[in-house]
Structure 1
Amino acid sequence: MITEGVAGANMLTARWAATVSDGEPTVLSGAGVWPLLAYLSSAAEGAERAELEQALGMPAAPAVEAATELLGVLRSATGTHAVLGLWVHRLLRLHDEWLRTVPADTVEVLVGTDAFDAWVRKHTDGLLDGMSTPPDPETLLVLAMVLTVRTRWREPFLDGTLGIADGPWAGRQFAWLHRWTADRDRLAVYDTERGQVTVLSVDGVSDITVDLVIGEADVPTGAVLAAGITAPDAGGPRRLGSQLTDADAPGLRLESNSARSVPMLSASVPRFTVSRGHDLLADGELFGLLAVARPDRQRLPRMSDTPLAVGAARQELTASFTAEGFEAAVSTRFDVAAAGGLPDEWRDDVGVEFDRPFGFVVRHRPSGLVLLAGWVTEPDPPLPVREFSRGEDDDF
């Protein structure tokens, strides 16, 4: 059964995919954006909250619960890894009520970009090297999510080459992958509003399946990709590979091979790697970010008393399909800055850091008796990461 969070993220991915231009190589992940929009919506009010809820497809409160559940699914599934990060400027005071909506053990102090880039490299095993665009110096908070997907095929492909006789790739040769299987129902043809869409499902040994989608030649790229996302769950007309009696569908050919006693499905697909960066504010209406990104006044009152607005929103991705398997990494980041610039009252604040060996003194307050004193040269190592559970009352 598809949960509300999964349904919301899938629909966001489909709406985003529908905007892809013809001839434009791309990769995108609504699953990498949707949880961040949910946590952001809980910090907004009025028009900003309503716009974010429209993009989420549900009210803010249940969206936060669904986002936390979705992160749990991604963390527990074999073949995926997901982690949320929150970096906060040391002078920014967050409301405890909002902070408790964010999964525990995600908060760090915002000090430059090196720590964030190292976090991205760590959680993508080096597939991504951080963000291509660093945060603005006046950024006060970064809310980010990293998602990786890795699997090996249950049935590997064979590496080879193939020359293309006609179509947009005519006269060119590519590295191709070939595979034969008796499970012809790995292939399905769906009848959609934008014509027929052919989908080949490739299963990994983990919980991952990669669907390869091809549509009719005259249908826009975005429409084909969106149909490939929604059609398998829409319950509309379809024909499975074992039911096909003609080649009247995109990408299909029917072959006769008397040497085999069992009918087979042969599949050929080019080996590929696609990488892309997205400026999510450029599609602010799609993601519900138009109002919350206007810096003229407070846009996130439930997050902090300091006037805040979203200053940047970016996603970086890479995905590779090979003979052995599939791997991809997604890094999504929302930068939050002071609306109208840094508050003047911060100019004279005083801060203190115990960033080298220090002492401590314990007193009995009523009598003034010093009970013990000491000197710290080796602070404790970080605590093990705790799983977030509803109802925890963690203070920042």
Structure 2
Amino acid sequence: MAHANTLTARWAAATDGEPTVLSGAGVWPLLAYLSSAADGVERAELEQAVGMPAASAVDAATELLGLLRSAVGTHAALGLWVHRLLTLHDAWLRTVPADTVEVLAGGDAVDAWVRKHTDGLLDGTSVPIDPDTLLVLATVLTVRTQWREPFLDGSLGIEDGPWAERQFAWLHRWTEDRDRLAVYETVHGQVTVLSVDGVSDITVDLVLGEPDVPAGTVLATAIAAPGAGGPCRLGSQLTVADAPGLRMVSQDAAAKPRLYASVPRFTVSRAHDLLAVGEVFGLCSVARADRQRLPRMSDTPLAVGRACQELTASFTAEGFVAAVSTRFEIALAGGRPTQWRDDVAIGFDRPFGFVVRHRPSGLVLLAGWVTEPDPPLPVREFSRGEDHDF
């Protein structure tokens, strides 16, 4: 899990301070599966991005998805759609759970899969799948939790700073557990973190850094700080407002000390073109479509044609909810291959018969005629975490 966190921190460091939300946990398994399909420079770049050899990364990706399946408050799914013209190597196909594989026939099935696995939080994909795509590999992730201690709606007057005199929907809470607040001393200055626990396995850290430190640096530092072992002061150790975001409020000295917290409600949504920062994900070489980039996936020359992520996240008085959809589109590399040809295909798209034979003797065991095939199967789920408290 540390490698996925490192990827998230590296990506966060590249952000520019505009409103954003991102999930390295949604990208990392896809990079792991993709690394096992590559060779040479492409494989090396992907291995560097995932932080381990490709052979180990596949097992780690399965483990990560298993964690998201079993954790209370999360749901994750993996999907693979393959065009009927594309033949995959069995060795690579076996790295992907068998019940995730579907036939790629346009983007409608992928959109329906995203809607189902995000409970409608994401309405499919905002960027249509390219019609030349031969394979789609995707993950979805949702997070849902209620707060152990809910917030109260209210207001707050802001006298200075970038939000001075602006009006927002504010949330307020107080607790005797002052150690939900921590101030980390880092090479980029102090970082203040308020940890808000959900009734499930989810904690949301709210983060403030020094005013002059770039947002990406603050976010990346906050991701790493709790596990870095550096100097840290907990809320019960704080007696003056000497860190980002802190202020002192006067209270009855006879009452037990409390921590008072105010945070605005927020919803952040974002769509990312992962190839725009391809160096973060090791996608630079594997996305060059001049020649075969994924030889362990198929004999057909392939390259990554598109890599994107769409997210939404909401923080309210009652809890937190988020949804993430990440997909890689794999397309033909090097132009239309000369070895391609028109092959015969058959579709049983009207009533048809079947005959069952005993192959050694030729004995017909039974025969039949089909006029009413089975109804469509529901979208297959890779995993589902239960959150009985939400």
Q: Quick check: TM above 0.5?
A: yes
Which residue is equivalent to 1:12? 7
For 1:56-205, what aligned pairs fall within 5 Å after superposition? 56-205=50-199
> Aligned equivalents of 1:314 and 1:56: distance in 2?
17
Which residue is equivalent to 2:47? 53
Give 1:33's aligned amino acid.
Answer: V
Give 2:133's aligned amino acid.
Answer: T
Give 1:12's aligned amino acid.
Answer: L
Which residue is equivalent to 1:340? 334
Q: CA deviation at 1:383?
A: 9.1
Query: Tell me, what secondary structure is at the counterpart of 1:303?
Result: coil
Q: Percent identity?
A: 79
Which residue is equivalent to 2:223? 229
CA gap 1:349/1:343 in 2 versus in 1, 3 angstroms = farther
Q: Identify the match of residue 359 of structure 1 among 334, 338, 353.
A: 353
Which residue is equivalent to 2:245? 251
> Aligned equivalents of 2:123 and 2:15: distance in 1?
25
Which residue is equivalent to 1:269? 263
CA gap 1:51/1:261 in 2 versus in 1, 3 angstroms = same
Q: CA deviation at 1:378?
A: 2.9
* 1:205-229 deviations in Å (ceiling 9; x for gaps): 0000000000011111111011110
* 1:10-65 deviations in Å (ceiling 9; x for gaps): 0000001111113x000000000000000000000010000000111111011111
Query: Tell me, what secondary structure is at the counterpart of 2:165?
Result: coil
TM-score between the two structures when normalised by the length of structure 2: 0.94
- Confirm or deny: 8 A CA contact 2:144 2:321 kept in the other structure: yes
- Confirm or deny: 8 A CA contact 2:290 2:335 kept in the other structure: no
> Aligned equivalents of 1:92 and 1:37: distance in 2?
20
Q: CA deviation at 1:141?
A: 0.1
Q: Is residue 286 from structure 1 mapped to residue 280 from structure 2 by the alignment? A: yes
Query: Tell me, what secondary structure is at the counterpart of 2:155?
Result: strand
- The count of corresponding residues between Structure 1 and Structure 2 is 382
Query: Tell me, what secondary structure is at the counterpart of 2:140?
Result: strand
Q: Identify the match of residue 326 of structure 1 among 313, 316, 320.
A: 320
CA gap 1:355/1:79 in 2 versus in 1, 3 angstroms = farther
TM-score between the two structures when normalised by the length of structure 1: 0.93
CA RMSD in angstroms comes to 1.7
Q: CA deviation at 1:340?
A: 2.0
> Aligned equivalents of 1:386 and 1:215: distance in 2?
40
CA gap 1:211/1:383 in 2 versus in 1, 3 angstroms = closer
Which residue is equivalent to 1:393? none
- Confirm or deny: 8 A CA contact 1:74 1:80 kept in the other structure: yes
Listed as ranges, the gaps of 5+ residues in structure 1 are: 1-5, 389-396
Listed as ranges, the gaps of 5+ residues in structure 2 are: 384-390
> Aligned equivalents of 2:303 and 2:254: distance in 1?
64
Q: Larger relative contact order (C-alpha < 8 A, sep ≥ 6)?
A: 2
> Aligned equivalents of 1:99 and 1:384: distance in 2?
20
Which residue is equivalent to 1:212? 206
Q: CA deviation at 1:370?
A: 2.8
CA gap 1:298/1:384 in 2 versus in 1, 3 angstroms = closer
Q: CA deviation at 1:231?
A: 0.2
- Confirm or deny: 8 A CA contact 1:28 1:317 kept in the other structure: yes
Give 2:15's aligned amino acid.
Answer: V
Give 1:322's aligned amino acid.
Answer: T
CA gap 1:161/1:384 in 2 versus in 1, 3 angstroms = closer
Q: CA deviation at 1:344?
A: 4.6
